Amino acid sequence: MAVQDELDQAKEGFIAKAPEEVYSQVFRHIKEQQGSGIVFGLKEGNKAPDFTLTNPLDEQVNLYDELAKGPVVLTFYRGSWCPFCNIQLRAYQQSLPDMEKLGGRLIAVSLQSPDNSLSHKEKENLTIQVLSDLNGRVAESYRVLYELPDYLQDAFSNFGLDLTVFNRTDRWILPLAATFVIDKEGIIRRAYVNPDFMKRMEPQEIIDELKKLQVEP
């Protein structure tokens, strides 16, 4: 099953279970972002900004150190509380052996605290690098960070989720659903950025891009 098929099923479940005042505000915000005219995300051909972030074991992981070993698949996700993100990460985890055969390394970045990332790794049996971008500085450098409007903050709170507590920050911020395939020279070769978090880049698209990089001289 394609990842999008699972995401579509999750969307149906979200609409069926969530209160209307919650999901209506979520869809309102997606439409506002799509119609804003804002150009989200770095583009193919852009140089990927370097960064160093901490994993759940309190180890520092540097993007360009990883790129020295091979191309990197960098994906930004909202958090372990997001079922759509979990579907994506499980699918990417399943495809990880195929990515690694092509020299690819997978890094997943969220704004959640390291202890929440550790719980997430253990719950989902993730072996991929899961890094914490506290306060969203890296997400901002990739142009995928956004502030939640008041009405969406209220909707999240009504649903029992306070992002300032979960992410240990004083800001209501999230990254867009975004995935970048970065070559060894640090150039973004494939970029997927979507204000609709219920859509994600398919693992096969990543694998196809890594194959292209492998055959290039």
pLDDT single digits (tens) 191-208: 999 999 999 999 999 999
pLDDT range class, residue 174, cuts 50, 70, 90: very high
- Summarize the confidence of residues 31-45 as an average pLDDT: 95
Provide the number of structural domains found in the chain: 1
Q: What is the pTM of this model?
A: 0.94
Q: What whole-number distance in Å separates Cα of residue 52 and Cα of residue 90?
A: 24
Q: pLDDT tens-digit profile of 54-64?
A: 998 889 999 99
DSSP summary character for residue 50 = P
Residue that wins the pLDDT comparison between 175 and 116: 175
At 108 the three-state DSSP class reads strand
At 120 the three-state DSSP class reads helix
Tell me the residue range of the domain where 205 lies.
3-215
Average pLDDT, the chain: 92
What pLDDT is attached to residue 118?
66
Q: Are 78 and 85 in contact (CB under 8 A)?
A: yes
93 burial (CB, 10 Å; 0-12 / 13-18 / 19+) is middle
Q: Which residues of 178-192 are buried (b: 16+ CB within 10 A; e: fewer)?
A: bbbbbbeebebbbbb
Cα 212 to Cα 46, 93, 106, distances in angstroms: 18, 21, 17
pLDDT at 217 over 60: no
